[in-house]
Structure 1
Amino acid sequence: MIVALLNQKGGVGKTTLALHLAGAWAAKGLRVTLIDADPQGSALDWSERRGHEGLPRLFGVIGLARDTLHREVPELARSADRIVIDGPPRVAGLMRSALLAADMVLIPVQPSPFDGWASAEMLALLGEARVYRPDLAARFVLNRCAARTVIARETAEGLADHDPPLLATSIGQRVVFAQAAQTGRLASEVDGDSTAAREVAALAEEIDRLGIGRITP
């Protein structure tokens, strides 16, 4: 399965989600490759920090910030059970290529009406891609969400009957994510019993249950 995390709006936590989903699947024994398609290279930076800390490699991280992704990813997928693409903000050519490469698009949004408006551009690109890939699946995922706030509830309710639909699992605004990023770790490595680690595991499981693309148990 090839999962692309995309949103035209920056700062919605795409890289954090991409790294943690890759880690959750790798922890299950799957062969995972993360493609850093963001010119900022944040996932590559995380991988470099991990190496400097002498930590074992959990999954491969490849920099591929170019608009030929859709032609190059299928070859990489031959030797992986999961491909996770950390996409760029505001780079239409790269984003179109990632859309054409993916089996499923995850659109992270924060609990804010402004994120909903910004997603309109993303949905327009998704519509374009579905002309060529009518089977392309897509889901919103609520990220950096403060639990039990009015705005979080209103955002979830606003997306409840949306197309694409909202995943049931949301990811909270957790300090452990920032702590992990500083040393090339994942939340589950900092604290395996943390709420953040449980939320990420639940999100990976929910995506798997959808049965999209090539699923290897």
Structure 2
Amino acid sequence: MLTIAVMNFKGGVGKTTLSILLANELAQRGHRVLLSDCDPQNSAMAWQSWSKSNLMVERVEKIRPKKTERSDVDMNVLDCPPRYGDQCIAAAIASDVALVPVMPGPLDYAATGLLVETLREANKRRTSPLPALLVANRTMPRSVVSRLLVETLNKLATQVDGARVSKTALPQRTAYVEALMGTWTPLAKEARTPVRALCDEALALAGRK
């Protein structure tokens, strides 16, 4: 079972949205996917209740640093709590790869800096550094703020072993929000392309195809 943690300590960065999009992309590829809602806001659980999605979503009260294998699941996506603490460290220890969505802005950079410290702490307790992708989220192509975001992420990635900036940036698209608002329908090709590419990156980083 491959475990993917989606992490950030700042709310509103698109962490749960990315978790849901990633889990659905993996499911569309034929994997047996579990979306573990570890966020106290229970946003993924709420989405599942109105979306009528066939995706398996479960509430997780406590993340354990040792991975628990399940015979009915190929891929486990963790929507991690948006705060510093033992739970996020445990998630980083138990996971095979992490995705860290980051939006442009000084508060977002500060929160990501704290998350980098968490990854460093988790790496001390792992047998090898956690592969982590810093993902530029809600970007606007060719804008100054998006360019500064990528530059900042590149600097942050040098501060922890195993981290790198994803080649794929997720653009600002209403399609992602709309996909989560009502009954779930697969993304159209144009909107799905960056999600698919990011999924490919995560799987490759974890040594999977």
The unaligned stretches of length 5 or more in structure 2 are none
For the aligned residue pairs, the C-alpha RMSD in angstroms reads: 1.8
SS of the residue aligned with 2:134? strand
Question: Aligned letter for 1:144?
Answer: R
Q: What does residue 181 of structure 2 align with?
A: 182
1:92 pairs with 2:91: no
AA partner of residue 160 (structure 1): N
Write the distance in 1 (CA, Å) between the matches of 2:167 and 2:25. 17
Matched with 2:99 is: 106
The answer to whether residue 41 in structure 2 is matched with residue 40 in structure 1 is: yes
Q: Which moved more, 1:173-182 or 1:38-47?
A: 173-182
Indicate the SS of the match to 1:84. Answer: strand
Aligned length: 202
**Partner SS state of residue 10, structure 1:** coil
C-alpha deviation, 1:187, in angstroms: 5.5
Q: Deviations over 1:29-73 (max 9, x none)?
A: 11111100001000011110123xxxx51x31111032x4334x4
The answer on 1:198 being equivalent to 2:175 is no
Instruction: Provide the C-alpha distance between the structure 1 equivalents of 2:147 and 2:186, rounded to a whole number of angstroms.
Output: 25
Q: What is aligned with 1:17?
A: 18
* One-letter identity of the residue aligned with 1:185: W
User: In the alignment, does 2:135 pair up with 1:141?
Assistant: yes
Determine helix, strand or coil for the equivalent of 2:171.
coil
Contact 1:176 1:187 in 2 (8 A): no
Counterpart secondary structure, 1:75: coil
Equivalent residues in 2 for 1:154-173, closer than 5 Å: 154-160=148-154, 162-163=157-158, 164-173=163-172
Aligned to 2:74: 81
Kept in 2: contact 1:144–1:173 (CA 8 A): yes
Of 109, 117, 132 in structure 2, the residue corresponding to residue 116 of structure 1 is 109
Secondary structure of 2:91's aligned partner: helix
**Secondary structure class of the residue paired with 1:160:** helix
What amino acid maps onto 2:59 in structure 1?
Answer: G
Letter in 2 for 1:198: T
The structure with more strand, counted as a fraction of residues: 2
Q: Distance in 2 between matches of 1:88 and 1:184?
A: 25
Runs (4+) off by over 4 Å: none
* Alignment correspondent of 1:8: 9
- Residue identity over aligned pairs, in percent, reads 34
Deviation at 1:184, TM superposition (A): 4.2
TM-score normalised by length of structure 2:
0.89
Deviation digits for residues 72-131 of structure 1 (CA, Å, limit 9, x no counterpart): x4233x432211000111151221221121111111101223312221211111111111
SS in 2 for 1:74: coil
Distance 1:186 1:149, change over 3 A: farther
Counterpart amino acid of residue 18 in structure 1? S
| CA gap 1:182/1:105 in 2 versus in 1, 3 angstroms | same
Structure 1 unaligned runs (5+)? none
TM-score between the two structures when normalised by the length of structure 1: 0.86
Which segment is superposed worse, 81-90 or 109-118?
109-118
